[in-house]
Amino acid sequence: MDRQLPKKRWKPRRDIPVAAAALLLIFLIIHIVAGDHSARLNVQSERITISTVEKGPFQEFIPVTGTVIPIRTVYLDAMEGGRVAQRLLEAGAVVNQGDPILKLENVDLRLNSLNREADLAEQSNALRNTRLDMERTRLSLQSQLADINYEILKSKRIYERYEILMGKDLISQQEYDDARDSYQYLLKRRELTIESHHQDSIFRAVQIKNLEESLDRMQENLRLIRLNLENLTVKAPISGQLTSLVPEIGESIGKGERIGQIDVLDGFKVRVEVDEHYIARINPGQEGEFDFNGRSYRLVIRKIYPEVTEGRFEVDMLFTGEEPEGIRRGQTLHIRLELGGLSEAVMLARGGFYQKTGGQWVFVVNQDGSMAEKRDIRLGRQNTEKFEVLAGLKPGERVITSSYDTYGDVDKLVLKR
């Protein structure tokens, strides 16, 4: 038989703590599941730099350093070796083309010149004697021919007269034959004499030709030796400033050795060193800009030296307009070398954040400026002032661009005023 159980009454002293513990447990579970667990760091706003993301024309350029050098430099090399006998000018002097700068002495070269002059004189005498012999031979032949022609004339008369007398049987056959043979002998003798002279003339002509060619070669050799003697006096090949002169009096200089240089003073150019990373992007015609005495000046690349030394290569740049007044040789210029034309882009100011993040993420400030949250981004081109933003940021957003070195691995920054 069933019986009715008595109804339990609520007891506050015992049940209130239990309910509170249950509610606290539920709150903790919700907080663990859905709460914000990101690491935070309090930062003073006045100690950071906040930049606004912008959209506008972007010019990619890199900062490079250039050195002012003369528009043209001509190096002085010793055309002939020798000992320095005299320094006629000193480094720094302004010279005109043809001015003597340095005198050298070379005893062997001077002896060689004297020997060649003696050989040339001997060859000239041989040629002169051969021509004289040829002239004497010609005159002798003419004399012989004159005698032979005279004998032929007399013999012909006798032969023709004997031929008539023979037809009348007034002379003997022997006398007629002797006259005829004498006449024919003289004719043959004249023919042989002329042929002998012809052959001798050919031989003499060849001999004279060879002597003349040999004489011409000796004269050319002597001319070159004399030119080398003249080269012992080093002269300025162009007008300009003698900026370097190395040899000292008494010093021996080898042939082809560099002894100095002359700079043309008509203008300047700038020799620029560029990191090899950009070698494929540098071409003649690209321009750059630099500031000097409160004004901006433009330069253009005219020559590229492809040799890479210690990770850098060189280019020569010329001024596109007037040269800066007061610029000097050896002066250093800080140039903004342009790598491309203007283009529309989303841009973020450069800052110390890049050294920490490598441009892969930044802290973006919320609208009320109370907090900055870590966000992944992607950067592209750059210049000395801006980064090109390819992804992760929009125009108008604000980004902390100062150094992140003291932030550690936090995900959010609480900005305190």
- The pLDDT of residue 354 is above 80: yes
Q: Is residue 16 part of a domain?
A: no
How far is residue 402 from each of residues 38, 45, 92, 351, 364, measured CA to CA in Å? 22, 11, 50, 5, 12
Other beta carbons within 10 angstroms of residue 170's beta carbon come to 10
The pLDDT score that the predictor gives to residue 1 is: 45
Write the pLDDT tens digit of every residue in 314-337. Answer: 999 999 988 888 888 889 999 999
Predicted pLDDT at 339? 84
Looking at the fold, whether 300 and 333 belong to one and the same domain comes out as yes
Q: What is the CATH number of the domain that holds 412?
A: 2.40.420.20
| Whole-number pLDDT of residue 360 | 92
Q: Is 312 exposed, middle or buried (0-12, 13-18, 19+ CB in 10 A)?
A: middle
Among residues 244, 262, 280, the one where a domain terminates is 262
pLDDT of residue 54: 92
Q: Does residue 19 surpass a pLDDT of 80? A: no
Residues 289 and 399 in one domain: no
d(C-alpha 81, C-alpha 83), whole Å: 7
Mean pLDDT calculated for residue range 392-417: 89
Highest mean pLDDT out of 14-18, 134-138, 301-305? 301-305
Whose tokens are 């008494």? That residue is 250
What value does the mean pLDDT take over residues 236-263? 87
d(CA 274, CA 312): 5
Residue 39: band (very low, low, confident or very high) from pLDDT cuts 50, 70, 90: confident
Count: domains in the chain: 4
CATH code, domain with 79: 2.40.50.100
Among the residue ranges 110-114, 186-190, 358-362, the one predicted with the least confidence is: 110-114
More confident residue, 199 or 37: 199
- Domain range for 312: 62-71+267-338
Residues 135, 95, single domain; the answer is: no
Name the residue with higher pLDDT: 211 or 8. 211
Q: Is the pLDDT of residue 97 over 80?
A: yes
Residues 50 and 84: their CA atoms lie apart, in Å, by: 69
Provide DSSP, 379-412.
EEEE-SSEEEEEES--TT-EEE-S--TTSTT-SE
Question: Mean pLDDT score of the chain, rounded to an integer?
Answer: 84
Same domain for 240 and 282? Answer: no
What mean pLDDT do residues 280-293 have? 91
Determine, yes or no, domain membership for 13: no
Are 100 and 238 within one domain?
yes
Whether residues 396 and 323 fall in one domain? no
Both structure tokens of 251: 């010093």
Q: How confident is the model at residue 38 (pLDDT cuts 50, 70, 90)?
A: low
**Res 151 pLDDT > 60:** yes
pLDDT at 115 over 90: no
Between these two residues, 20 and 199, which has the higher pLDDT value?
199
Question: pLDDT tens-digit profile of 364-390?
Answer: 999 888 899 999 999 988 887 889 999
Please determine, for residue 18, whether its predicted confidence score (pLDDT) is greater than 70.
no
Q: Which of 239, 232, 240 is nearest to 259 (CA)?
A: 232
Global model pTM greater than 0.95: no
Cβ pair 66, 270 in contact under 8 A: yes
Last residue of a domain, one of 214, 242, 262: 262
Alpha-carbon gap, residue 66 to 5, rounded angstroms:
103
The winner for highest mean pLDDT among 144-158, 295-309, 373-387 is 295-309
Last residue of a domain, one of 291, 323, 338: 338
